[in-house]
Amino acid sequence: MPNDVGQLLLVGVPGAELDVETAAMLRRVQPGGFILFGRNIKTPEQLRKLIDDLRDLSAVEPVITIDQEGGRVSRLRLIGEEPPNAQQLRDRGNPELVRRHGELTAKLLRLFGFNLDLCPVLDLSFDDEADNSLRGRCYGRTVEQVIALAGEFNAALRAGGILSCGKHFPGYAAAVEDPHHSFPVIERSRAEMEANELAVFRHFAPLVDSMMIGHIHYGSLDPERRPASLSPVMIDGLLRGEMGFEGLVMTDDLDMGAIIDTTSFEDMLGLGLAAGNDLLMICHRVEMLDQARAVLKKQPSDLLAASLGRVAAFKEKMAPSTDFSPAAFEAINRDIWALRVATLGEEKACEKSLEDGKRSPVELY
């Protein structure tokens, strides 16, 4: 089992290619995985090379992940067609289109060398217009809708060889603030949550490969005012203990305002590990990875061993990438366009994303 604490870091990459300094730092730190954003994507060939380079400098096969949901949260829309988002698929009312979306997403990601998609979003939509980062991203307004449609996507994605991630536990749906910028605190009863948000996560606990923990606080679930992502009550207690989740647990991006405005760099790592996270996500402060590794080395050995074991078990499930070719990419791209037309109709399919122009700058990094 890999025992370098760098395996507990899921990190961003500064640009579209690795400079000498960045490559040397990543070789030293040996992160467990990499998350890519728009800043890393210029052309199909460039993206595949970057991912191959990241894999080459890793002593242990790395997690390579991205947010490829559909709509505005589709990083690969920068080089190809934009798939429909969850709300558009929901409104179309055809589960077969959702399954097709999962199949195409898996093919597309494996072509570039990804092995994990940070999907599906399991949040309910209580308000389709709420400014809480979820606009357009939810598969349903009811528990039954989310279970049915997110379930179709999740099953197809995994069947295609891409591991899945349920997010954002225990749910951002009731938030009126965006955690990219501030720390949402929600007063909502345990009974209300059990009937709604938690019912969805309980259903998916045995069905997803990993869970992402949100930077949100529910007073009815945790008496201490802290983000769920840093709470042992929420992760070790509710998610692992009560719900029986046995997969990989990761934080949402620890560079969001909800964390950096309230918690020091060292504390966020120590508290994140102690809460039960296996991967600590640092998307933007990449220059601090040596410091992050040093902080983790000081943490209790039993906590490190438990998380390192779960990371290693997760990596055993990762499928290899498929051979890249421009022709293969174009074929998948045509199929994504056909899915968009089938979902929206040709006229609307030709329009820009419903969310274009409304995207948070943080989501574009």
Known catalytic residues?
Answer: 180, 252
Rounded-to-10 torsion of CA 304, 205, 149, 358: -40
Residue 48 parent element (H or E): helix 44-56
Measured CA angle at 152 (ends 149, 158), to 5 deg: 140
d(CA 121, CA 137): 7
Task: Give the list of residues 6+ apart from residue 348 with CB closer than 8 angstroms, or none.
Answer: none
d(CA 12, CA 363): 13
Measured CA angle at 211 (ends 219, 302), to 5 deg: 85
d(CA 211, CA 243): 12
Rounded (to 5) percent helix, strand, coil in the chain? 45, 10, 40
Paired with 186 in beta bridges are 218
The β-bridge relationship of strands 73-74 and 68-70 is antiparallel
Is the distance from CB of 231 to CB of 258 less than 8 angstroms?
no
Beta strands in the chain (DSSP E): 9-11, 33-36, 63-66, 68-70, 73-74, 116-117, 165-169, 185-186, 210-213, 217-218, 248-251, 280-282
